């Protein structure tokens, strides 16, 4: 199974055109509904569904969950089904306990995004640490609001980049201090910035940002008439990296 399929849940053999997935219910929402009812977290699930503009009462939620539990064979005995119907991974030995892939539909942080936490995961899971679920978040774009997964490998890669940038800034800071510049500000320790938008919305924002950040037409003014305000206004805005 590929890294993406392990993270998202392999849907082979699952007909997403089935009426079971109607009314705005995709595979992640279906997993969230099952998780919410099995773990007695219905209020949390209903809050998320309202954010997705999905009209669910508690009664309707239980009916949908019952259908999904039967469809995904969540309540099947371990002697009859030892692997998850969604991701094909081995199920927990306890009867009725959900596969870990259902957790990937629940917004939250599951592994702290720190270098120490990553090193601990590497020791515990040397072969699969990169595919471990770090967090699940809801896209902040109000027209999207989809659930997204972040793997620990992505966090580790991002942290390496900010660490390199920090080391460069630290070298420049130390050089400035050594030269007698005591007004220079020390760089901050690198931290990982949680993602707030899915890839599609983030790319769209970048494209829009590039268009909106184009510099205005240049107006040449006599040097003696230039003011601090006019110089500030002439500087084009930059899109956030």
pLDDT tens digits along 176-229: 888 888 788 888 887 888 888 888 888 888 888 654 444 443 433 334 444 434
Tokens 């991002």 map to which residue? 158
Per-residue model confidence (pLDDT) at position 214: 44
Residues contacting residue 136 through CB under 8 Å, at least 6 positions apart: 103, 104, 105, 106, 107, 108, 110, 147, 148, 149, 150
What does the alpha-carbon distance between residue 45 and residue 43 come to, in Å, rounded to a whole number? 5
Average pLDDT, the chain: 76
Per-residue model confidence (pLDDT) at position 20: 65
Higher pLDDT, 132 or 231: 132
Q: How crowded is residue 160: how many other Cβ atoms within 10 Å of its Cβ?
A: 12
Per-residue model confidence (pLDDT) at position 19: 54
Residues contacting residue 227 through CB under 8 Å, at least 6 positions apart: none
Residue 18 and residue 25 in contact, taking contact as beta carbons nearer than 8 Å: no
Per-residue model confidence (pLDDT) at position 13: 38
Average pLDDT value for residue range 98-120 = 86
Per-residue model confidence (pLDDT) at position 4: 37
Per-residue model confidence (pLDDT) at position 147: 78
* CA dihedral sign, ordered 150, 154, 156, 158: negative
Per-residue model confidence (pLDDT) at position 218: 40
Per-residue pLDDT of 1-48, as tens digits, reads: 333 333 344 433 344 445 566 667 888 888 889 999 998 989 888 888
HEC assignment per residue over the chain: CCHHHHHHCCCCCCCCCCHHHCCCCCHHHHHHHHHHHHCCCHHHHHHHHHHCCCCCCHHHHHHHHHHHHHHCCCCCCCCCCCECCCCCCECCCCCCCCCHHHHHHCCEECCCCCHHHHHHHHHHCCCCHHHCEEEEEECCCCCCCCEEEEEHHHHHHHHHHHHHHHHHHHHHHHHHHHCCCCCCCCCCCCCCCCCCCCHHHHHHHHHHHHHHCCCCCCCCCCHHHCCHHHHHHHCCCCCCC
Q: Which residues pair with 106 in a beta bridge?
A: none
- For 87, phi and psi rounded to 5 degrees? -105, -5
Q: How crowded is residue 218: how many other Cβ atoms within 10 Å of its Cβ?
A: 6
Average pLDDT value for residue range 118-128 = 91
The number of C-alpha atoms within 13 Å of 20 and in the hemisphere containing its C-beta is: 18
pLDDT score of 119 more than 90: yes
Per-residue model confidence (pLDDT) at position 1: 35
Confidence category of residue 126, pLDDT binned at 50, 70, 90: very high
Per-residue model confidence (pLDDT) at position 210: 53
Confidence category of residue 103, pLDDT binned at 50, 70, 90: confident
Q: How crowded is residue 74: how many other Cβ atoms within 10 Å of its Cβ?
A: 23
Per-residue model confidence (pLDDT) at position 122: 92
Per-residue model confidence (pLDDT) at position 24: 74
Per-residue pLDDT of 51-91, as tens digits, reads: 777 888 999 999 999 999 988 888 888 888 888 888 888 88
Per-residue model confidence (pLDDT) at position 235: 42
Per-residue model confidence (pLDDT) at position 215: 47
What does the alpha-carbon distance between residue 200 and residue 212 come to, in Å, rounded to a whole number? 18
């Amino acid at each position: 199974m590929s890294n993406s399929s392990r993270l998202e849940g392999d849907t082979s053999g699952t007909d997403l055109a089935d009426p079971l997935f109607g009314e705005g219910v995709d595979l992640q929402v279906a997993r969230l509904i099952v998780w919410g009812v099995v773990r007695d977290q219905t209020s949390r699930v209903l809050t998320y569904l309202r954010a997705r503009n999905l009209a669910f009462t508690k009664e309707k939620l239980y009916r949908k969950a019952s259908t999904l539990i039967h469809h995904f064979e969540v309540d099947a005995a371990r002697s009859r089904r030892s692997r998850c119907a969604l991701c094909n991974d081995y199920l927990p030995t306890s009867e009725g306990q959900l596969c870990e892939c259902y957790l990937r539909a629940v917004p939250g942080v599951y592994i702290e995004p720190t270098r120490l936490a990553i090193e601990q995961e590497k020791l515990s899971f040397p072969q699969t640490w990169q595919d471990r679920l770090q967090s699940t978040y809801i896209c902040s774009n109000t027209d999207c609001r989809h659930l997204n997964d972040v793997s620990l490998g992505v966090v580790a890669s991002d942290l390496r980049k900010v660490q390199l940038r920090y080391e460069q800034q630290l070298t420049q800071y130390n050089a400035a201090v050594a030269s007698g510049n005591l007004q220079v500000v020390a760089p901050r320790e690198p931290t990982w910035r949680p993602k707030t938008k899915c890839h599609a919305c983030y790319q769209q924002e970048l494209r829009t940002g590039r268009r909106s950040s184009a510099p205005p037409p240049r107006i040449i003014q006599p040097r003696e008439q230039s003011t601090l305000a006019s110089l500030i206004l002439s500087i084009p805005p930059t899109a956030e990296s």
